[in-house]
């Protein structure tokens, strides 16, 4: 194995760098800028059973040390993702891709995952359990261990590929939710999703986005991500994909020391579309600086 190689749920990655869902489209947009095959893989735009237009605009706003967004899972629905988006991606990406799935009911998750599981291009199913459960009084799947486990079991029943459950940080006990997913059969845990945030425009005296509140991401949340990755990695036996404010090779090494097997880069892609490529290029020099021979050896190096 090369210095940058890692193994995520039985699939070898050339390096641990994965652009995060919602920040990299379906990949082919970025392929116009550079060869995206340098990536470990990427997680494509969150996919739901049915097409979604998303939330009203404005729905993205910059703020100090990050951004707030409430895009609302805009996507063409799983049928079109399978029939149109993935064939376009195949023309510019020759590795397995990570399929990100969202839903509003357990049945939605199972349906969408079953469809994507049949696609040869898909290597992993990243199941985002931080959307509202509209059939259960608005409770978010990702803030309740039993609900998160229920989604995990339902998806595992209809799929054969590794299932990675993506958790929300907007909870008081992230470990109990991660352990519930592991016990329900999850093959990996992905964290953290965005923190819930809000900003107000002093000139208009209105929230900066139409949804009022949205997901806060960017470098400001990195310490929270490191803490939660560390807590979960030391509580479960399955791999952890770490993310949240990652924007440099040094950040990658830090969150891997906390316990991440692979590392997603999110908001930084919207600031610099070349950031993932540059992080990969910078990793060997940063590894040399800190006396690291192979990235696989440092995973969970801090106890």
Q: Given this model, what pLDDT does residue 138 score?
A: 34
Q: Are 46 and 112 in contact (CB under 8 A)?
A: no
Q: What is the pLDDT of residue 65?
A: 86
* Helix residue spans in the chain (DSSP H): 78-80, 86-90, 106-117, 145-157, 174-183, 222-233, 249-258, 268-271, 275-289
Dig out the tokens for 192 from the structure. Answer: 């953290």
Distance of CA 142 to the CA centre of its chain: 14
Other Cβ atoms closer than 10 A to 219: 18
Contact 262, 40 (CB under 8 A): yes
83-107: average pLDDT? 96
The predicted pLDDT at position 135 comes to: 40
Overall residue count recorded for the chain in this entry = 303
How confident is the model at residue 303, as a pLDDT?
A: 84
> Which of 54, 104, 98 lies closest to 75, judged by CA?
54
**Where are the domains positioned within the chain?**
6-297
Reported as a single tens digit per residue, the pLDDT across 151-197 is 999 999 999 999 999 999 999 999 999 999 999 999 999 999 999 99
**How many CB atoms are located within 10 Å of the residue 53 CB?**
9
- What confidence tens digit (pLDDT) does each residue in 121-160 have? 999 999 999 753 334 433 478 889 999 999 999 999 999 9
Predicted TM-score of the model (pTM): 0.95
pLDDT per residue as tens digits for the range 228-246: 999 999 999 999 999 999 9
Which pLDDT score, from 0 to 100, does residue 296 have? Answer: 97
pLDDT tens digits for range 192-224: 999 999 999 999 999 999 999 999 999 999 999
* CB proximity list for 292: less than 8 A, separation 6 or greater: 253, 298
Topology at the third CATH level for domain 6-297: TIM Barrel (3.20.20)
pLDDT at 131 (0 to 100)? 56
Statement: residue 267 has pLDDT above 50: yes
User: What is the per-residue pLDDT for 224?
Assistant: 98
* Tens-digit pLDDT profile for residues 8-57: 999 999 999 999 999 999 999 999 999 999 999 999 999 999 999 888 89
- CA-based torsion, 232, 107, 42, 297: positive or negative: positive
Q: Are strands 6-8 and 11-13 parallel, antiparallel or unpaired?
A: antiparallel
Half-sphere exposure of residue 286: CA atoms within 13 angstroms, side-chain side? 15
Structure letter (DSSP) for residue 84 = I
Give the orientation angle of helix 249-258 with respect to helix 222-233, to 10 degrees: 30
Catalytic site residues? Answer: 131
């Amino acid at each position: 194995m090369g210095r940058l190689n890692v193994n995520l749920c039985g699939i070898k990655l050339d390096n641990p760098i994965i652009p995060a869902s919602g920040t990299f489209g379906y990949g082919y947009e970025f392929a116009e800028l550079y060869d995206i095959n340098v990536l470990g893989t990427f997680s494509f735009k969150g996919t739901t059973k049915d097409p979604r237009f998303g939330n009203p605009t404005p729905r993205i706003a910059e703020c100090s040390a990050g951004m707030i967004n409430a895009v609302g899972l805009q996507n063409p629905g799983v049928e079109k993702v399978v029939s149109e988006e993935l064939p376009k991606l195949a023309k510019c990406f020759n590795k397995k891709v990570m399929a990100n799935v969202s839903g509003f009911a357990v049945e939605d998750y199972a349906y969408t995952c079953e469809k994507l599981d049949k696609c040869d291009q898909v290597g992993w199913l990243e199941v985002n359990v931080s959307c509202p459960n509209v059939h259960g009084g608005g409770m978010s799947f990702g803030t309740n261990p039993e609900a998160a486990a229920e989604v995990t079991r339902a998806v595992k029943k209809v799929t054969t590929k590794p299932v990675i459950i993506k958790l929300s940080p907007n909870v008081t006990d992230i470990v109990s939710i991660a352990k519930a997913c592991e016990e329900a059969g999850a093959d990996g845990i992905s964290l953290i999703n965005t923190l819930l945030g809000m900003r107000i425009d002093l000139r208009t005296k209105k929230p900066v986005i139409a949804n009022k509140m949205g997901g806060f991401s960017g470098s400001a949340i990195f310490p929270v991500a490191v803490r939660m990755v560390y807590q979960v990695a030391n509580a479960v036996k399955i791999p952890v994909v770490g993310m949240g404010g990652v924007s440099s090779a040094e950040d990658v090494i830090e969150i891997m020391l906390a316990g991440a097997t692979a590392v997603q880069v999110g908001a930084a892609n919207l600031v610099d579309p070349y950031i993932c490529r540059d992080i990969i290029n910078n990793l060997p020099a940063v590894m040399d600086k800190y006396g690291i021979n192979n990235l696989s050896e440092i995973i969970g190096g801090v106890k």
